[in-house]
A and B are shown apart, each in its own frame.
Chain A
């Protein structure tokens, strides 16, 4: 908008244009907003006209267009600036800045539970640690897991939630299975499974999810781009439908409840004598478990991150990135593209499975409702918004998206303005959409778009003169 050669439109012109916009808004509002279907007392369908709301929306459309045009006018009259780049476009992180940001973020994250305890006290901090901290970190981990598949290897996976679900159900079924429990009780002792079950089931769930990644990968990785996206989308739905319909095993819609919670390396978080609190001489509070879960998911997410960063520097990670750039060139350079894709899929799925297992242990209850397509979309949105392949970008996007959603719950006071029916969380998707559009305009490659090279010249050793003269090959 509003380039150097912008023709001033004038107040009258702007008003006329805004009228057209209002007319358009009115046309859209008549079928969508004006009439609402409702049931009256005798369960009859009735139409409730909402002229007030319709008029308000039309007025908003008019006003926004009018102001927009005038603002553009005003911009256009000023001398054209050399660089009309939005502030955000400057956000390319230098390696040092990224490192400082990461270290600062880490210190903050490790201090976070204590900080919130100190600031809002034990009662208030559960919300901040659980709803914000743990919830966001789960999505950071999922984002990093999917980042391997989408960001690094360039395989568009719309069904990532399937692996999250596999991990969660694998954990839930294994940890609460009596046969396994009895077997372990006989093999090692009855104390073993309640204490260490979580720590055994967690990796098993991750491995199972990775295994499913390979199973899905084999048939579909011949596909590319849109076709791969569609098949993965379908796979996500298939897993969900199986979870719903295989009632004997998964409990169908009812889900699985009473999933064993993790223990502190053998010490349960309860008020008993050999519980965590008693052992360490603390007063029992459920907050201990929450804080433990926070650190657990923090460590899991960090493991995901470290593994990804390491893998990027190994041949397989380089091959992923090269694959994203050009598959044909990869093959002509002797890279087995099928295996490369499979490893990306399996490792990404494995991390999704870990996150799922953690989710099941934290919730204590899972049902297919937690694994809808919307979840896949949110995770993918996190990766895309963050900047494909950028670890820090993904973390920032997860904080913004998930933290933003949680913040919407805090906006209760809006009810005083819009009435008691108003639920700000209902507008979550609208805001996601808005965020997407804005990001795609400002930063088409995501928040942090610059890719850090993984290979540097050790300056002193680089191409020394004698090597150049040698010239043999």
Chain B
């Protein structure tokens, strides 16, 4: 989904539609759906379709986008029941016999039509201690982190997240428990748990455990399957499960098996 469209694909019949081909697009607006008809075009993306509807047919349609090239993470929507970046999803790849169904991202409050309020998503980022904690007396010199150290590799695996909310919309646990921190926030926490410079690890591990934290993950793999950046929040959450378990065992051990002086 993320790969650039090769030149050869432009002659592909699935990319180059038949002349006069039309597409039925059902868009959720409030409680109901509204149907629009737009012309199929060459290498057309879902975002192209929504933009065409808003500019040519109904200027009151609300949606969100910025970069159009898969960098900003603001155009995600539910396309035929799956969360996707609309700018990097071609109509030809996802249209079904009866067209397209577009809905706002799941698990987030709707502002209007296809635009959702991302506030809860970013609040959880903060709740999971998603900010670097330098400590009270950070060292004055640069820290040396070997690029091939296991910790640095673990950080690399999850650092490319751009907060598009696709994993959050894909997650069933968020749908069941609105307090659940969600894959993106936990993935961010895991990158910081592996940051050897960070001084806030105990508080972070406490924040990501418990009923709303990593232990609630059911390993459905939805976040990992849908992530447009091909990240694997499931494995980040599994890492947090191991880290929180290890820290709990250490605390238990030091409390009950401490060597008496």
Do the two chains bind? Answer: no
Residues of A within 8 A of B (CB): none
